[in-house]
Amino acid sequence: MYNYILPQLQMLTSQFVTQFGANWTQMLLTNNTFSSVVLAKAPAVVNPAVMPLKIDLRPFEPAIATPAVTIGLIYLIIVAFFSFSFFLPIHNKYVQPQGHPPLHFWQLIIWRWLATLVLYFFVSLTYSLVSLAFGVPFWGSPESATEVAINATAYGRGSFVVYWMVNFIGMVALGIACENAAMVLGQPWTALWLIFWVITNVATSFYTLELAPSFFAWGRAWPLHHIVQASRHIIFDLKSDIGLNFGVLFVWAIVNTVLFPFCCYFMRWRTEHEQREAAKAKDRYVVRTPEGEDEFPKPVGEKQPKMNRGLMRGI
């Protein structure tokens, strides 16, 4: 705004005052009904005569709200991304028969998806409470769109709950995409994905796309753009596109949820393929038993036995 909109408004104001002032002064000098005494008592009538008034209907207050609608939202991506590597070893214990019957793989997929959503639910609540703890006002009532209002919110005392739900659905949209990318790409390419995901979301979210080159129009479909727009609407009572914002976030969540099982199967296939390749060079068999994994000597010249294969095995 300060770099693009205000300079244009100031230029327009200056041109208007200059042109109008010259014509107005000439008209006053040729009009005998205005005496010099009257003009001396009200010099502003001559110059500048008129001055456009700029009114900010929704001042950006308090300043502590800045992270809540800008850089602080990056933490949603970061936390969602690292939850995959943090909880994957825990999830894998459910399929390893170590003193308990293992889950079928389809059961593991459902468990992982539900556990991820529960995690996002409470992490998004924690993130939202941080904004509340730092004094972001979520209790102001909605105000008229034509009146100046400070600390007005879109939904009154319910604004915090709506803000929390935006962060939750946004975290699902951002996080499940990270889960799928991590399973498909594997190491070390997941780090490259994180860089891509953060840069593309930030570049199209924190600044007005109307002022950006048309190349960035694809940013209107990115999740963080709609999280930022919805957060600004809630906290500052700005123009509402909350239905569109939630709609786009739900589409991201649904599409990535549909892809989630296929990505899980692909990760298992790749892991087992790497294990088969590694077993060829060993002099021992690795056999899974109800008590865990055991190793047995491999006779010279004998090949590693084939492991069970098939996309739907275990069902």
Residue 285 is predicted with a pLDDT of 64
Predicted pLDDT at 87: 72
Residue span of the structural domain in which 111 resides: 63-274
Q: State how far the Cα of 13 lies from the Cα of 32, in Å rounded to an integer.
A: 29
Per-residue pLDDT at 311 exceeds 60: no
Using the predicted structure, report yes or no on whether residue 296 has a pLDDT greater than 70: no
Same domain, 86 and 149: yes
Question: Which of the four pLDDT bands, split at 50, 70 and 90, describes residue 121?
Answer: very high
Q: How far apart are CA 278 and CA 270, in angstroms?
A: 12
Both 138 and 231 in a single domain? Answer: yes
Q: What is the average pLDDT value for the chain, to the nearest integer?
A: 79
Pair 116, 150 in one domain:
yes
Least confident of 40-44, 133-137, 254-258: 40-44
Residues 186 and 70 in one domain: yes
Q: At what angle do helices 105-133 and 242-279 cross, to 10 degrees?
A: 130
Environment class of 203 (CB within 10 Å of its CB; exposed 0-12, middle 13-18, buried 19+): middle
Query: Looking at the domain assignment, is residue 305 inside a domain?
Result: no
Same domain assignment for residues 32 and 138:
no
Query: What confidence score (pLDDT) does residue 299 get?
Result: 65
164, 130: one domain:
yes
Choose the most confident range, by mean pLDDT, from 129-138, 186-195, 220-229, 272-281: 220-229
How would residue 139 be classed by pLDDT, with cut points 50, 70 and 90?
A: confident
Answer yes or no: do 17 and 162 share one domain: no
Residue 100 in any domain: the answer is: yes
In terms of DSSP bridges, do strands 284-289 and 292-297 run parallel, antiparallel, or are they unpaired?
antiparallel
Statement: residue 42 has pLDDT above 80:
no
9 and 100 both lie in a single domain: no
Give residue 238's region: left, alpha or beta (phi > 0; psi -120 to 50). beta
141 within domain boundaries = yes
Residues 194 and 210: beta-carbon distance below 8 Å: no
Q: Please give the pLDDT value at position 272.
A: 77
pLDDT tens per residue across span 74-98: 888 888 888 777 777 776 676 666 6
**Domain count of the chain?**
2
Using pLDDT thresholds of 50, 70 and 90, give the confidence band for residue 169. Answer: very high
pLDDT value of position 293: 63
Q: For residues 163 and 67, state if they share a domain.
A: yes
Instruction: Identify the band that residue 161 occupies on the pLDDT scale cut at 50, 70 and 90.
Output: very high
CA-nearest of 205, 240, 210, 206 to 221 is 205
Residue 13 sits in the same domain as residue 112: no
pLDDT band at 99 (very low <50, low <70, confident <90, very high): low
Query: Looking at residue 239, what is its pLDDT?
Result: 83
Q: Within this chain, do residues 176 and 232 fall inside the same structural domain, yes or no?
A: yes
pLDDT score of 52 more than 80: no
Answer yes or no: do 136 and 69 share one domain: yes
Whether pLDDT at 7 is above 60 = yes
Model pTM?
0.77
Higher pLDDT, residue 47 or 110: 110
Whether 299 is in a domain gets the answer no
pLDDT value of position 314:
43
